Structure 1
């Protein structure tokens, strides 16, 4: 695993340090941010209030009355040197199965209302995505999109929205630009894609990512009424590994009924993720990883 190991540190007022680990966003840079922030949580000095990993960076909020800023800066630099390229990092996380109704009627109706903002007004989002990625059509695109897991690099922008890198070699990643101009509407729980990032829209609202389908799985529950939200109103956590599973309309409707009855659970399993093992053999690692979901 190789990465640029020189970070750029900058101050954000009197309470924040922002650390940029790489100028370009990539899975190795995201893993390195995860490794550093995981180590920081394990060796957390008094005065650190919040730790927020992102795609190729992280930010720390601290109390300057408790920890001297330069002492915190040195602590972060020491962790950076210790982590290096994160080749020895191991993350205790979850592999999560998210069912997806691809080419659903709701995102299809929405995208058709905004074709004047799209690169290809004569195609649907998934038809366009298939074509520019050199795939035969939507079915081949769905197989590529759902055939490998995705690494959750950060959660945010909109509350509960996960950003995800596809866990394949970079030259095989699906890449699709965002809309030319953002939409003013996106259905809740839309499975979207912009640049190299997959995402799930946690709430209905504006958006610019291409829309491929919708999941019945709630990922944001501010009232915490669903069983997956006993501890927190947001389901996803940085480091979660996602497997998208195509479903048909009947299965989608069944899951919606379970949601309405307050009985739906997202299927997940605990797993240890070692980035070196993944980068040495991505396909073999992914096959072993997805076997975890099939285990009873």
Structure 2
């Protein structure tokens, strides 16, 4: 984390607050607190907040507020972040079918790390992953905390179409493709749970600042889930995140 937050102009309609140059929980906490502080302050002229791993872009209307005035108000809010109470994070359990047609690159990840496929699955499902941000496509979660023992480089040649719900690994990151899209991540599994449903009351399943826990399920489990998935009544299991917990609830 930087000793002093950097305020950078991004044209005449946006400002970037840069908190550090690494992926870290402390930076994520500050970004979340700052986002909440801005929302509570309801600064006139701000149209959108775009949080990332280490920064946040604030879009604003220069006819309603100047960049200088906005920066001044943001600096004031930043000094008050210790008073911001973030909502307790929760863990969403994502049922996942691993390997085979659902995870065509599982063998590649196993071979790259000199592990069995079962060991890759065990390591991938053993962690609670912090959702640092959503992006790339609607609802795509960028997750932190993957076991480095299963880190694997991206594909040399990206696929032109990846099925929505595919669970992948790229370097030291893991994530879930929220919709059909191109991509170069190593695919190890697939979840039938939609991360983005434009017709749902809450179109985006996951929220930045919460956690994801992958749970390996069988084909039989999937078949049993299908009726609820088809009529949109399936609900992922959730539980409170406990720092230092064992990842089970």
Question: Which band: TM-score by shorter chain?
Answer: 0.7 to 0.9
Alignment of 1:205-244 (within 5 A): 205-224=181-200, 230=201, 232-244=202-214
Could you state the TM-score of these two structures normalised by the residue count of structure 2? 0.88
CA RMSD of aligned residues (A): 2.5
Contact 1:106 1:187 in 2 (8 A): no
Matched, 1:264 2:223: no
Q: 1:117 aligns to what?
A: none
**How far is the alpha carbon of 1:37 from its aligned partner?**
1.6
Unaligned runs of 5+ in 1: 109-124, 225-229, 279-284
2:107 equivalent among 100, 105, 127: 127
Contact 1:91 1:272 in 2 (8 A): no
Q: 2:129 aligns to what?
A: 150
Distance 1:223 1:69, change over 3 A: same
Distance 1:254 1:132, change over 3 A: same
Q: Deviations over 1:199-244 (max 9, x none)?
A: 11111121111111001111111122xxxxx1x3221221121111
Q: Secondary structure at the match of 1:99?
A: strand
Alignment of 1:147-186 (within 5 A): 147-166=126-145, 172=148, 174-186=150-162
Matched, 1:286 2:245: yes
Distance 1:177 1:219, change over 3 A: same
Distance 1:264 1:52, change over 3 A: same
Give the count of matched residue pairs.
Answer: 249
Q: Deviations over 1:137-167 (max 9, x none)?
A: 2111111111110011111111121111127
Distance 1:194 1:31, change over 3 A: farther
Q: Secondary structure at the match of 2:207?
A: coil
**How far is the alpha carbon of 1:4 from its aligned partner?**
2.7
CA distance in 2, matches of 1:96, 1:157: 20
**How far is the alpha carbon of 1:65 from its aligned partner?**
2.5
1:103 equivalent among 94, 99, 105: 99
Q: Deviations over 1:16-43 (max 9, x none)?
A: 1122222233333333322222222233
Unaligned runs of 5+ in 2: none
Q: 2:119 aligns to what?
A: 140
Structure with more of its chain in helix, by fraction: 1
Distance 1:66 1:265, change over 3 A: same
Matched, 1:252 2:211: no
Contact 1:153 1:238 in 2 (8 A): yes
Q: 2:65 aligns to what?
A: 67
